[in-house]
Each structure stands twice: as C-alpha cells, then as structure tokens.
Amino acid sequence: MSEAVLEAHNITRRFRIDGGKTLTACENVSLSLYRGRTLGLVGESGCGKSTFMKLVMGLDKPTGGEILFRGKDIAKMRGKEMHEMRQHIQMVFQDPSSSLNPKMKIRDIICEPLRNYGRIKHAEKKDAAADLLEMVELPSEFADRYPENMSIGQRQRAAIARAIALEPDIIIMDEATCSLDVSVQKSIIGLITRLQREKNISIGFICHNLPLVQSFAHEIAVMYLGNVVEVIPGADISEKSLHPYTKALLGAVFDINSDRERKIECIKGEPPSPLNIPAGCPFCDRCEHFTEKCRSEKPMLKNVSENHKVACHLYGGNLEK
C-alpha cells in the first residue's frame, strides 16, 4: 500500500450539551488516508462521519486522540501553522449553490486560494483560471460567469477546481455528489478519479450511497454511532463484508438489477440517540446475532484478513477472548 498521508489515532469527539449530558460523535476512530487513494466513509445520519472529517480539516478540535499530518498533530496546530497546513487539505462541499459566493465570478472563486497563499500575482489570474477550468473540463469562457449562470453540475466542477488549485495532498468531499442527478454524478466521479490519478491526491469521501462509494473508493470505512465498525477494500464490500451493520446497509440497497422477488432486508428500529450509546457493542440492540457478551463488552476493531478489519464479537478472534 502507498504511504499514509494522514493518520488519525483514537480520535474521540464529545460535545457537552444542555442538562449536563454528553453527546459522543466520534469514539476512538483510527483511520488513515493514503497517497493517491480514496477512503470512503459511509454510515447513516448522525454516525459521526462529517464530524470526523471536520476534525481532519482542522475545523474542529478532538476531545482526545491525535491526527498526524506530515508528522505533526493537526489538533494542536494554531494560527500561522494551521494556515500553512490548510493549503494541503482542501474541501468540496455538498451543495455548490451555497459553497460558492454568488457575488464572485468563477475566475475569482477558483483563484482565491492561489491568491491567499501568494502563489500567483493578480496579472496571472487569467491564465491560472483557464488552466484550472480545463482540468475540470469546463469551457474557459466560464471564468467570467457567476455561479447562478451555471448548472449545478458545472458549479460542482468549479468547486472542485477551487479545491485542486493549491495542488493539495488531501481533498475531503462531504457528500459532494448527492445533490446531483445520476448522469451528472457519474461524470463528476469520472472527473474526480481522473484528477486523483493525475495528481496523486488522497481523497476522503463521505457518502451515504453505498453502491456509488464502492464504485471508486479503494477503502471503505463503515461508521455506526460514532464508531468505525468495519474497514474493507472498496472492491470487496458487496462480497466479503462481515459486520451485521454493513450487511444491513447492503441489504437495504435498491438495485435496478435485482429481481423483484428479492426481499429488501430491513433491520428493525432506528439507531439509538448518540446521547445514549449502549455500553457494549453500539449495534447490539438491532443485531440478529446479538449475545450477552455484546451488551457487556465493546468489540474492538480487529484484523480478519489483510486490509480488512471488523469490530464484532463474531469475527477476528474477538470471540476467544
């Protein structure tokens, strides 16, 4: 496997909320981003996937753990150091209509990071913008447009152009394709993977659409209630996944190729509130294979084979212990 660009170790983020309660958004999350590879982070709303990526971006500080980037802990960076680090980790947001300033022209939007870090002079903006637009397959005359005069797919391309402007090591994409129509979505994924190959970028992709994320992620981490429950190579998820929650997610996928008689598998109930996480396995209340041990002891993430980790008492030697 290629070198790790960023390593998060035992990241925990708790929020104190009214009434003295504590909300645990992430608990002991350890994940790495590798050069030129995509980590897909999947899970349902409130599972902590966006919180984790925010911590990676340095937009929020963890309660515990460390995030190592180039040997330094992002969580401890401040001021100038943080500013310097930011140029290496860029972000693409879900909704390009609100992440692009409607009063700025596309040229100014995509060149803003370059200007902020003094990489180009004002006079060089025109050429820089043309280059960036070419990379994201937009016509160069779009430089003079405002976001509102572009389709939503074109806007997302502009947002990607802004993210790659500084040639970052890492790009974090938070549901970057979920507001797009399927045909546009496909072309954006094609673009992202092409740029990744050309520039060897590491991508952290948050997504709730499992079929989509497995189509281009090298590695997928499944989160449930703030915990990573399974880490598996993207190509293997539909065949080799083991955790009951991952299987439940796969069972809930409506696939256009599946025959009608296939029954959609539903797990019962809804995730418990993150204010009130069960003491043992977070998934125990909804799990079919649940035993007494699941309630009392939390399963740790363990290797079941190379590159495949599961946090479940059923697998990976968790049982013998």
Residues near other proteins, by CB under 8 A: 38, 44-45, 152, 181-183, 185-186, 189-190, 193, 196, 208-212, 214-218, 234-235, 237-239, 248-258, 260, 264-267, 270
**Amino acid at position 251, single letter:** G
> Which residue number, 57 or 188, has a Cβ lying nearer to other proteins?
188
- Helix (H) and strand (E) counts in the chain: 11, 12
> Which residue number, 128 or 206, has a Cβ lying nearer to other proteins?
206
CA distance 249 to 93: 24
Which residues touch 14 (CB under 8 Å, ≥6 apart)? Answer: 22, 23, 24, 25, 63
CA distance 109 to 94: 17
CB 74, min distance to other proteins, A: 27
CA distance 245 to 168: 34
> Which residue number, 159 or 249, has a Cβ lying nearer to other proteins?
249
Tokens 């022209």: give the residue.
105
Nearest to 243 by CA among 231, 252, 226: 231
> Which residue number, 196 or 318, has a Cβ lying nearer to other proteins?
196
Which residues touch 235 (CB under 8 Å, ≥6 apart)? Answer: 214
CB 182, min distance to other proteins, A: 4
β-strands 202-206, 38-42: how paired? Answer: parallel
> Which residue number, 52 or 69, has a Cβ lying nearer to other proteins?
52
CB 129, min distance to other proteins, A: 27
Chain centroid to CA 37: 12
> Which residue number, 128 or 160, has a Cβ lying nearer to other proteins?
160
> Which residue number, 26 or 249, has a Cβ lying nearer to other proteins?
249
In the chain, which residue ranges form alpha helices assigned H by DSSP? 49-57, 79-86, 96-99, 106-116, 125-135, 152-164, 182-199, 210-214, 237-240, 244-251, 292-296
Say if residues 282 and 225 touch (Cβ distance below 8 Å). Answer: yes
CB 125, min distance to other proteins, A: 32
